[in-house]
Amino acid sequence: MITAFKPSSEPIIHPNVSLASHTSYRVGGKAQWYTAPRNFEQLQETFEWFQKQDIPLVLLGAGSNLLISDRGIDGLVLSTRYLRHRRFDEATGQVTVAAGKPIVGVAWQAAKLGWSGLEWAVGIPGTVGGAVVMNAGAHNQCTADSLVSAVVVSPDGKVETLTPEDLNYSYRTSALQGGKRLVIEATFQLQTGFTREEITAKTQDNLWKRKSSQPYDKPSCGSVFRNPSPYAAGWLIEQLGLKGYRVGDAEVSQRHANFILNCGQAKAQDIFHLINHIQEKVQSHWSLLLEPEVKILGEFSAAS
């Protein structure tokens, strides 16, 4: 039985909240319960409530790497979107950032200071917390290259500071994936001594490369599949003539085949069926199973 949440001030946990506006795909049903704490005290209060319930916990950042079922999600969805403090330490060249801060914003702030190390992140649509969890990367660099430490908290209130070694990083994955520990902030080591013009130019060039090769005009989750080394997932899909293939309003991008776009009124189920169709075609032709990079949450019907 779920206990009603009755805080002393304004509510921070809300029932039956639509998640479509909280994901970059703009699809998905409702969260049974939803919260977006604005500080660590509210986060602690949320976990105190959660510990009294017998429900699942789902962690949400910017929602840029998620496909949420049209049927919604049972349990508590906890978003870090309002945890956004950041601090640049000129003495050490380190920047400490809250989990909900968009990593693209941190990349631009570092560039304006002439600090190098996050230029690769300028086109990443997610948050700092999401980047830490999935070891986000681009342009042959990734989160693990500059991460010093990450502070995480468990629903029981235990706070830990983890190193990259603790996180067991590899390609687009870490020890935090699939777990219930929430990243609340991360510290990165950057290189100082450059001019603002140097780093800004490099950052802008990286952004131009992404925009010239990837679609940004319609809702998507970014890259749908992990690259099965030594191949690029987009190349494998393109060779099968699947660019432009649609299920409902879900379409394989004409610009980059590893992107699935919401071309208007796509349902999460349409995107799910398209993911399955691509996997089946690649498996049949190349004998390779494409592993989704997008996290799929909730219940979906089997592809017909």
* Phi, psi angles (nearest 5°) of residue 112: -70, -20
- For the question of residue 293 being annotated catalytic, the response is yes
User: What is the dihedral angle through the alpha carbons of 118, 119, 125, 131, rounded to the nearest 10 degrees?
Assistant: -30
Residues 106 and 171 placed together within one structural domain of the fold: yes
- For the question of residue 287 being annotated catalytic, the response is no
Confidence (pLDDT) at 291:
95
- Bridge partners of 120? none
Confidence (pLDDT) at 11:
53
Residues 90 and 174 placed together within one structural domain of the fold: yes
Question: How far apart, in whole angstroms, are the C-alpha atoms of residue 190 and residue 158?
Answer: 29
- Give the start-end residues of each E strand in 13-146: 13-18, 30-35, 57-60, 66-68, 73-79, 86-89, 94-98, 137-138, 141-142
Residues 126 and 175 placed together within one structural domain of the fold: yes
Question: How far apart, in whole angstroms, are the C-alpha atoms of residue 195 and residue 200?
Answer: 9
- For the question of residue 172 being annotated catalytic, the response is yes
Residues 114 and 165 placed together within one structural domain of the fold: yes
**Is 218 part of a structural domain of the chain?**
no
Residues 72 and 101 placed together within one structural domain of the fold: no
Mean pLDDT by 10 residues, the chain (304 residues): 43 91 96 94 92 92 92 95 94 96 95 96 91 91 96 91 95 86 96 95 92 89 93 97 98 97 97 98 97 94 72
User: Which of 35, 52, 79 is at the close of a domain?
Assistant: 79
Q: Are 253 and 238 in contact (CB under 8 A)?
A: no
User: Which of 162, 185, 213 is at the close of a domain?
Assistant: 213
Q: How many domains would you assign to the chain? A: 3
**Is 228 part of a structural domain of the chain?**
no
Residues 136 and 209 placed together within one structural domain of the fold: yes
CATH, residue 51: 3.30.43.10
The domain of 106 spans 86-213
Residues 100 and 142 placed together within one structural domain of the fold: yes
Q: Which of 79, 146, 223, 253 is catalytic?
A: 223
Percent helix, strand and coil across the chain, each to the nearest 5: 30, 25, 45
Which three-class secondary structure state does DSSP give residue 111? helix
Confidence (pLDDT) at 5:
41
**Is 222 part of a structural domain of the chain?**
no
Rounded to a whole number of angstroms, the CA Rg of the chain reads 20
Confidence (pLDDT) at 2:
40
Interior CA angle at 67 toward 59 and 254, to 5°?
140
Q: Which of 64, 172, 181, 253 is catalytic?
A: 172
